Structure 1
Amino acid sequence: MRIDIITVLPELLKSPFEASILKRAIEKGLVEVHLHNLRDYTDLSYNQVDDYQFGGGAGMVLMIAPIDKCISQLKSERDYDEIIYLTPDGETLNQKTANTLSLNKNMILLCGHYKGVDQRVRDTLITKEISIGDYVLSGGELGAAVLCDTIIRLLPGVLNDETSALTDTFQDNLLAPPVYTRPREYKGLKVPKVLLGGNFPEIEKWREEQAQARTEKLRPDLLD
């Protein structure tokens, strides 16, 4: 998989890909992540990529020209399955979306900034709009990092135990059951007996029941 990220703040995005699972995925050749500074694609002085909005109002808007130039150059080099705009008013990211996107070969992520992007970008260049939640960030960079993490960890070979991702919270519209590790007892708090007996059908049954109960209590909306 290849992910191209268009941003005005590439330095903000470097760190997530230089550590932990994302770094290992890149080193193993399972994913390529390329950062593109939008300011490299403007012909205006002072590397300007934003301007005041027509009609007045507070906040600057990313202009269509440098975005179009960057996306056009990338599309001339390869085909892309999705061109995604990170924006608060996009489709809310969930596990189902992450699962679907993990099957793609090439994607472009466009990070919004300031007041957003010229609407013509959204109308003509973008194939999907994604939000990571009902709140506003200073830009789409952190949202892009979150989206990349949710996708990359699903790629075959990224996790040491590939079945781990299949039992994550939300995979079956259920929250994950509680988990325990050593010691068996700590300050009078004991690990449930069913997990210690080695009866795996019983363990699986217990986990399913716990997942159902936790979801009903904490996120009943997932069961609708």
Structure 2
Amino acid sequence: MKNALLLLLFLLFCMISVQAQNDSTRRGFLIKTLPIQDVFHKNPNVIIEKPITDKFSVDFLFALRFTDWVLNSSTGIGGGPSWSQNDSKGYTLGSALKFYPLTKHHAPKGFYISGSIRFNDILIEGVNIKGDIDNNDSRIVDLDRLEIGAGALVGYQFLFSRFVIDIYTGPGLKYRIEKENFVSGSEKYLEPKTYEWVSRMFLGLSIGVKLF
């Protein structure tokens, strides 16, 4: 499934590029990155955006996941939830369709409305899950996490000749499948595989260049 999704996104981008290469309004593409993910989260990533008409473009995201954030909730009485940043292994795949409605601008410049999808396959290592107030029954696990989600975004993309800045925000929702792989500690509260819907808020900044 994972390889099939990656292949599908790659083939879709190739088809769009071939279809648009003879239209001057659709020539070229953007290569961007999310610098906060690169620098602070150690998750290198690349986004390729391709105009397909005067008002629409598509983009494709690939990221490696070397760290991830986990919300640790206490399993016993006392002790509130806390965030921790853990080493991880995995990747993110994503795609978005962008609509640029303003008449004075053409894709990929200006205000846009976007629908996006993302798929995450991540193994988060060494998660310390608290026990009770005295840390009894605490455990360390590796979290095997699969997520598929979507978002409805608005943003503005600045295009200065070849340099690109993209700022966006909007709500999202994802379906998460998570399994605890026991490492050490107490197995008393070890969780089986869980399934849940998780809401989120996108707030992002990407930078890049326009090629061709």
Whether TM exceeds 0.5 here: the answer is no
**Which structure ranks higher in relative contact order (CA pairs < 8 Å, sequence separation ≥ 6)?**
1
Superposition TM-score, scaled by structure 1 size? 0.22
**Relative to total residues, which structure has the larger helix share, 1 or 2?**
1
TM-score between both structures, scaled by the size of structure 2 = 0.23
